[in-house]
């Protein structure tokens, strides 16, 4: 039904768009990166009852200024005309999303210069902030709810916001989301005015996992790391190979774990092919 609704909207828009040409944003004057609110990592003793909580979506950040949809970099998102025509004239901040663990597919779709309707029928614009909106964050949530309802299209949705009673409730919700394939949670201070830049009014919380892999090669360093190890190429017990490039001291880069040794690494997520993401070296296994 969702696809049928979208196709119906496409059909209405096609006569208007015949012959239109999509021009990349970089073909003309460069567009500055839009000022956005960026999250800090949650640390220490935070009073979680003061925050709205939402799932951290594994999508592509996008901002709508009322006329153009742009990436965080400022470059234009070449979405189909029917997709943006349905968006309200007010600014929106959110993520383009296709569902949990579909980031690679989504990224390929939204970065094409010539969008394909059949691809974009799978994409949603999940909004979580109203740039320059009035009032505190609680008030802006209600304003966003009204804008989404007024637009009345299935590809524009408000990210669900909820409250928790304490840190244990937050942990339980985090575990529930991660177990279902989610990435983590975001906490937005309920009484915060609209801000831009990195701020602790917006916090992110993601679980760290650890696993072991065998070193199969040393990747030479470049630049400042010339003459040292730049990364370890490792292989998991399942046969997946990837590189670990962070978490090393210079001393360890000069004397890295030997090929054949087993190391422990930390990671936050995996790709749909099972390859760890956001990997950092933790330690070398010391045999008894």
End-to-end CA distance of the chain: 60
SS3 198: strand
Exposed e or buried b per residue across 158-186, where buried means at least 16 C-beta atoms within 10 angstroms of its C-beta: bbebeebeeeeebeebbeebbeeebbbbb
Neighbours of 199 (CB within 10 A): 14
State how far the Cα of 140 lies from the Cα of 127, in Å rounded to an integer: 11
Phi, psi angle pair for 285, to nearest 5°: -70, 130
Helices assigned H by DSSP within 125-204? 137-151, 167-179
**Cβ neighbours of residue 104 under 8 Å, at least 6 residues apart?**
271, 272
SS3 15: helix
Q: Is 94 exposed, middle or buried (0-12, 13-18, 19+ CB in 10 A)?
A: buried
Catalytic residue of the set 56, 67, 124, 173: 56
Phi-psi region of 184 (alpha: psi -120 to 50; beta: other; left: phi over 0): left
Residue 187 C-alpha from the chain's centroid: 15
**Cβ neighbours of residue 204 under 8 Å, at least 6 residues apart?**
39, 40, 41, 42, 56, 184, 185, 186, 187
State how far the Cα of 230 lies from the Cα of 223, in Å rounded to an integer: 10
Told to judge if 56 belongs to the known catalytic residues of this protein, a careful annotator would answer yes
Task: Write the DSSP string, 205-217.
Answer: E---EEEEEEEEE
Residues annotated as catalytic are: 56
């Amino acid at each position: 039904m969702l696809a049928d609704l979208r196709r119906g909207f496409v059909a209405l828009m096609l006569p208007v768009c015949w012959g239109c040409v999509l021009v990349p944003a970089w073909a003309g004057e460069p567009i500055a990166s839009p000022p956005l609110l960026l999250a800090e990592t949650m640390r220490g003793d935070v009073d979680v009852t003061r925050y709205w909580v939402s799932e951290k979506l594994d999508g592509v950040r996008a901002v709508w200024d009322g006329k153009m949809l742009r990436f965080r970099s400022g470059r234009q998102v070449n979405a189909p005309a029917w997709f943006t025509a349905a968006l309200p004239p007010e600014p929106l901040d959110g993520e383009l999303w296709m569902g949990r663990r579909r980031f690679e597919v989504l990224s390929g779709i939204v970065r094409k210069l010539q969008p394909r309707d059949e691809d974009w029928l799978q994409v949603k614009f999940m909004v979580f902030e109203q740039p320059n909106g009035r009032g505190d964050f609680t008030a802006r949530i209600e304003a966003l709810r009204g804008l989404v309802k007024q637009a009345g299209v299935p590809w524009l949705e408000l990210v669900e916001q909820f409250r928790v009673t304490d840190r244990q409730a937050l942990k339980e919700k985090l575990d529930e989301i991660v177990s279902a394939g989610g990435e983590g949670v975001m906490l937005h201070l309920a009484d915060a005015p609209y801000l831009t830049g990195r701020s602790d009014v917006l916090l992110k919380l993601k679980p760290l996992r650890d696993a072991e892999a065998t070193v199969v090669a040393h990747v030479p360093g470049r630049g400042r790391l010339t003459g040292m190890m730049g990364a370890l190429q490792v292989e998991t017990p399942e046969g997946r190979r990837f590189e670990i490039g962070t978490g090393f001291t210079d001393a360890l880069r000069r004397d890295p774990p030997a090929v054949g040794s087993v190391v422990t690494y930390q990671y936050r997520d995996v790709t749909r092919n099972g390859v760890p993401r956001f990997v950092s070296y933790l330690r070398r296994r010391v045999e008894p």
